[in-house]
């Protein structure tokens, strides 16, 4: 649900799309990758679902400020290994835009509603090399 504090809106803006501020992202990284070794240290969290899933960037793959993005979701992926979800930040943004445009994402009563089937078709067509969007890989 979207919440407002000091004229800033907080909440999920796309699937697994709650933005982290830098301090929180660093804290999550330290807990998950440094202190507990839940996630390989090369993955840095950018967004969260709010329920323990993270969209992460592989720090060792960044070229000219861009890199593939991975989803860490043991429940969805049936593995603790992050899975590629977007080929680049630009393709993630394009997928999000098209999902809103096509009605895969919309807000009802200040809460994000997701048509997962439509989201998968749109995001998978833009990111065909990302295993997450392949048929049968997403719940």
The 10s digit of each residue's pLDDT in 87-127 is 998 999 999 999 999 999 998 887 889 899 999 999 999 99
Enumerate the domain spans of the chain. 3-133
Neighbours of 81 (CB within 10 A): 12
Question: How confident is the model over 67-87, as a mean pLDDT?
Answer: 83
Calculate helix-pair angle for 89-102, 116-126, nearest 10 degrees.
140
| 139, pLDDT greater than 70 | no
| 64, pLDDT greater than 70 | yes
Tokens of 44: 């840095």
Is residue 63 within 8 A of residue 50, CB to CB? The reply is no
pLDDT reported for residue 11: 65
Is residue 4 within 8 A of residue 10, CB to CB? The reply is yes
Tokens of 89: 């930040």
Is residue 84 within 8 A of residue 76, CB to CB? The reply is no
Global pTM reads 0.79
Its sign, for the CA torsion 31, 10, 87, 130, is positive
């Amino acid at each position: 649900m979207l919440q407002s504090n000091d004229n800033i809106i907080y909440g999920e803006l796309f699937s697994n799309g709650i933005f982290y501020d830098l301090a929180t992202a660093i804290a999550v990284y330290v807990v998950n990758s440094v202190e507990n070794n839940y996630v390989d240290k090369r993955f840095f969290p950018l967004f969260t679902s709010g329920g323990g899933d993270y969209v992460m960037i592989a720090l060792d793959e960044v070229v000219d400020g861009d890199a593939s993005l991975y989803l860490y979701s043991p429940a969805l992926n049936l593995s603790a290994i992050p899975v590629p979800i977007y080929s680049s930040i630009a393709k993630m943004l394009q997928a999000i835009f098209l999902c809103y445009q096509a009605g895969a994402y919309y807000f009802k009563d200040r809460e994000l509603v997701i048509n997962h089937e439509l989201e998968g078709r749109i995001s998978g067509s833009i990111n065909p090399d990302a295993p997450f969007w392949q048929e049968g890989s997403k719940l």
